[in-house]
A and B are shown apart, each in its own frame.
Chain A
């Protein structure tokens, strides 16, 4: 039977059942290996032969990496947690709506049933949604290796397009999200069609003090730079001030200046994207503000 098929290059496959085993494999195989989590980025890349690891370390049989827990002032999310579990988690719907919202806008239902937050983050696609969200939330990432562990701040995690701060012997184990009361967030995504990568994605998280002044503003942008980025000028407009309509508009203009989009024939010109950063920042901030007020 003659048939056209897309097949990855040959590789050796291991499926450790503990994190320790996985780290030992990683130590041994290093840069010749790839961690397989949900596989919704890695497998398409391998099929196109843009990635051809010699060894694939499947971590799906490690049971203690898939969880969503509240732990004092933190939310802890296991790296192997599926987008769908985040989308439908009651805890996250109450504590960090921005995460439920972002999860529901990733790929399509089948991709969300398989794809994981950790896999998406380490893949570090600048067009992915989670990067902007963890930057807005000020999350940190627990990286483990055979020789120990370290915590990486979300601002230091995205090094370049498709390059994260994860070393070749490290596995991302957990995403830690700081919780605060009177805080609300929103993820606003412009996509050409349902399931597409973001043309522009804006994550905004606002924390208010008891008199309604913005104590903290986190704004992350997707798809408008070589990595997910923080919109610092936009945040500075709001921090320590009352988030009035005029200030939200000013912050949205500043976010547009923070962005560094490029022309692309598929999703539009840099000028268009900058204009959309302004529009979607305004939307995300407005939603974030009303949610923060509702948390009171």
Chain B
């Protein structure tokens, strides 16, 4: 049996780039992304798996990175908010959050955008009700959700018109 240790070597691909580090087993993935990788777009809001501000895409699935250990990411492929814009051009979901004023203070926004990214891949042509269900794991204290829902519905439409964008 392999020797166990509280320190672990991890190698992970984040936004297309490979990173390696030696970390404590108990380090949470959200803290790893923020403090070791220096990508502070992933926010820690409630730290109790409720608010969704720490949402990232982990091997193609949206997850709450405050509720995973960084060691679990060994060998994984991760997308954070920093990886969404390409060549200085915002992703269509980011565009639509901007166009529809889908944010005020912006703290929850990275989580909402990544959850929307996963949701629209699963459900490219959603109803408003489905959008509301799809973002039920994310909390926003500013907007009352109206403009967030509008932004996601608009992003879904943009996709139909410009299929090459995703």
* A, B co-complexed: yes
- Footprint of B on A, CB under 8 Å? 5-15, 21, 24-25, 28, 36, 39-40, 43-44, 46-47, 55-56, 58, 60, 82, 84, 107-111, 113-114, 194-195
Query: Across the interface, which residues of B come within 8 angstroms of A21, CB to CB?
Result: 1
A-B contacts, 19 listed (Cβ < 8 Å):
A11-B6, A12-B5, A12-B6, A12-B25, A13-B25, A15-B71, A15-B72, A15-B74, A40-B49, A40-B67, A43-B67, A56-B25, A110-B64, A110-B137, A111-B64, A111-B137, A113-B61, A113-B62, A114-B68
A12 adjacent to B47 (CB under 8 Å): no
Query: Across the interface, which residues of B come within 8 angstroms of A25, CB to CB?
Result: 1
Q: Does B8 interact with chain A (Cβ within 8 Å)?
A: yes
CB nearest to B74 among chain A residues: A15
Known contacts A13-B6, A108-B137; 11 additional CB pairs below 8 A are: A11-B26, A12-B4, A12-B5, A13-B25, A39-B67, A40-B67, A43-B49, A47-B47, A47-B48, A55-B4, A58-B72
Q: Which of B1-60 contact A (CB under 8 A)?
A: 1-2, 4-6, 8, 24-26, 28, 31, 44, 47-50, 52, 55
Q: Does B104 interact with chain A (Cβ within 8 Å)?
A: no
A23 to B74, CA, bound (A): 22
Secondary structure of the A contact surface, majority rule: mixed
* Cross-chain pair count, CB within 8 angstroms: 101
Q: Which A-B residue pairs are the 6 nearest by beta carbons?
A: A108-B137, A13-B25, A113-B61, A12-B4, A194-B136, A110-B137
B69 adjacent to A13 (CB under 8 Å): yes
A114 adjacent to B26 (CB under 8 Å): no
Q: Does B109 interact with chain A (Cβ within 8 Å)?
A: no
B68 adjacent to A43 (CB under 8 Å): yes
